[in-house]
Structure formats: C-alpha cells, structure tokens
C-alpha cells in the first residue's frame, strides 16, 4: 500500500504558499519521519524536504488570477500515491496521524466534516458557512481530503473540475449572490452532495478534523489570533494558551508560517 501526503501550493502576489507547504512538510516529517510528502505546484521549487515536486499535469489554468483554486482537481492525477491525504498548505501537524490510513483505506474518498476551536472542541459556528446552510449542502472541509486511486475517486475529481469550469451556470440554480466565487469548500460540498455523503464522508471518524483559527470559531476579537493568544512551538508539541494541540492546525494567519519555520530550524 503506497501512501503519502500531497500539498497543492501556488504562490500569489500576496502569499508565499510554497513556504507554507514547506513548513507543513517539516511538521509531517517531525512527527512521522518515514512519511512521504509531495508538493504539487506550478512554481519553481527545489526544497529537499519534499519527496517529490510535481508540476500541475495540465498547467496553471489561472495564470493571471489570484484565484488558483480552479487547479485543485488536478491533484488526483498528479498524486504519485495509491492512497493520498491532501492537506491545505497553511496548516501544520501537531502529532502523528499515521493511524488514519487503517481507517480511511476502506473508502475511495473521504472529505473531512468537522472543525475545532483551539481548545479541541468541535465547532458549531456557522457564520463562515452561509453558502453551505442556505443550499442545504454537507458541511465539508476540503483542507483535509483522502482519496485512493479508483474509478470513484476519479469521478469525484472530474466532477470538481466540471463544477469549477461551469460555476456561472451552477450559481443560477443555487441560493447565493451572483458574485459568489467558487471556493474549494463550496465545490467539494456540491460534489459530495451529488455523489452522496455516504460515499464521500466519514462523519463518525471525528479525529479527521482540524483546529481552525478563524476569529468567530475561537471567540476572538480579530482575525489575527496571534495578538490575543499565547502560543508555544516546541519540538514535541504546539500549545495555544497552554493547551496542547491534538489535531492538524489550520493557522489561517499566513505569517505564522514564519514562526513555525524558525522553530523547526532550531530543532
């Protein structure tokens, strides 16, 4: 069973997502030294932390846009693994998740369905998910997605491509502002709805979730959580306000990747 982690990362004018991906890869290797991690990108990169650096199979389909999400569907073909966990670049791991493979391997596709606040509690905050609830879609989070090479997974990502490419038509049948942009979360939710949540999610497996550091989820005053909370980055753990982080950590504030990288360089 050839398993591995893929990170799709493309730099924009405002964010160095390759750096975020590098930091994520370092966190994976920190807790799972034998894990294989591949970067999928259209940018030049020679970082040795990655086991593979793979160009987008069909190139950058949004070369003049900040909105690179349209390239997401290419991860299926690009992944060199039989079993893949796709992680969003601006995350870090806080412990080993190697045991996930034994649970996920029985499915073709699993998109995560839970997020947590920094205390570890599953969040029920809906303020960022109006599109999901207005359209009665499954509450999925593409930031953690598992798939294995199979006909069903291939169909899933072909549907992701189709929804991105025909977003203007989809909006005519959805309840949303006609200026609504196609995010990966929205597109994945639609695909999960069409193909069936029973085929694309595993809601009982709540460990497959992430801490999300957005303001409302954590009851903060601003979106820059680093101004309000105390964080400690240690070789063996990450603590926020003294609380050990037990789940993949979506730090949201991209500048936090600098702090993480500095800490990894000291170890």
pLDDT tens-digit map of 200-214:
999 999 999 999 999
Kindly state the average pLDDT of the residues 234-248.
95
pLDDT at res. 71: 95
- Using CA atoms, how far apart are residues 134 and 222, in angstroms rounded to an integer? 26
Residues in the chain: 267
DSSP 197: H
Rg from Cα positions in the chain? 18
The residue to which tokens 């920094």 are assigned: 118
pLDDT at res. 13: 83
Task: For residue range 156-201, list pLDDT tens digits in order.
Answer: 999 999 999 999 999 999 999 999 999 999 999 999 999 999 999 9
- Is a pLDDT exceeding 70 seen at residue 1? no
DSSP 80: -
pLDDT at res. 66: 65
Choose among 115, 63, 95: nearest CA to 252.
115
Here the tokens at position 253 are 């504030």
Here the tokens at position 148 are 């294995």
The residue to which tokens 């992944």 are assigned: 79
Write out the E strands in the chain.
Answer: 3-8, 37-41, 52-55, 83-87, 91-92, 109-112, 115-116, 141-148, 210-212, 231-234, 237-240, 243-244, 249-250
* Residue 40 CB partners (closer than 8 Å, separation 6+): 6, 7, 8, 9, 54, 55, 56, 74, 75, 78, 79
Give pTM, 2 decimals: 0.96
- Is a pLDDT exceeding 70 seen at residue 130? yes
Rounded to the nearest integer, the mean pLDDT of the chain is 95
Helix (H, G, I), strand (E, B) or coil at 132: helix
Task: For residue range 11-60, list pLDDT tens digits in order.
Answer: 988 899 999 999 999 999 999 999 999 999 999 999 999 999 999 999 99
Comparing 195 with 68, the larger pLDDT belongs to 195
- Using CA atoms, how far apart are residues 74 and 91, in angstroms rounded to an integer? 20
- Of all residues in the chain, what percent carry a pLDDT higher than 70? 99
Q: What's domain 3-266's superfamily in CATH?
A: Spore Coat Polysaccharide Biosynthesis Protein SpsA; Chain A (3.90.550.10)
- Is a pLDDT exceeding 80 seen at residue 246? yes
């Amino acid at each position: 069973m050839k398993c591995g982690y893929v990170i799709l990362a493309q730099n924009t004018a405002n964010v160095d997502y390759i750096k975020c991906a590098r930091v994520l890869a370092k966190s994976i290797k920190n807790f799972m030294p034998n894990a294989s991690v591949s970067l999928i990108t259209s940018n030049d990169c020679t970082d040795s932390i990655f086991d593979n650096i793979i160009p987008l199979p069909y190139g950058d389909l949004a070369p003049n846009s900040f909105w690179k999400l349209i390239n997401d569907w290419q991860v299926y073909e690009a992944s060199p693994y039989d079993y893949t966990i796709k992680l969003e670049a601006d995350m870090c791991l806080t412990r080993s998740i190697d045991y996930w493979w034994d649970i996920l391997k029985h499915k073709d596709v699993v998109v995560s369905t839970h997020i947590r606040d920094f205390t570890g509690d599953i969040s029920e905050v809906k303020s960022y998910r109006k599109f999901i609830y207005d359209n009665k879609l499954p509450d999925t989070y593409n930031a953690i997605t598992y798939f294995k090479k199979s006909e069903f997974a291939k169909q899933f990502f072909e549907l992701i491509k189709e929804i991105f490419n025909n977003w203007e038509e989809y909006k005519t049948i959805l309840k949303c502002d006609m200026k609504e942009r196609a995010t990966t979360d929205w597109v994945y939710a639609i695909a999960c709805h069409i193909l069936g949540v029973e085929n694309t999610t595993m809601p009982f497996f709540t460990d497959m979730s992430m801490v999300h550091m957005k303001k409302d989820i954590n009851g903060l005053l601003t979106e820059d959580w680093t101004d309000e909370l105390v964080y400690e980055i240690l070789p063996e753990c990450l603590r926020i306000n003294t609380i050990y982080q037990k789940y993949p950590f979506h730090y949201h504030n991209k500048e936090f990747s600098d702090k993480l990288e500095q800490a990894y360089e000291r170890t």
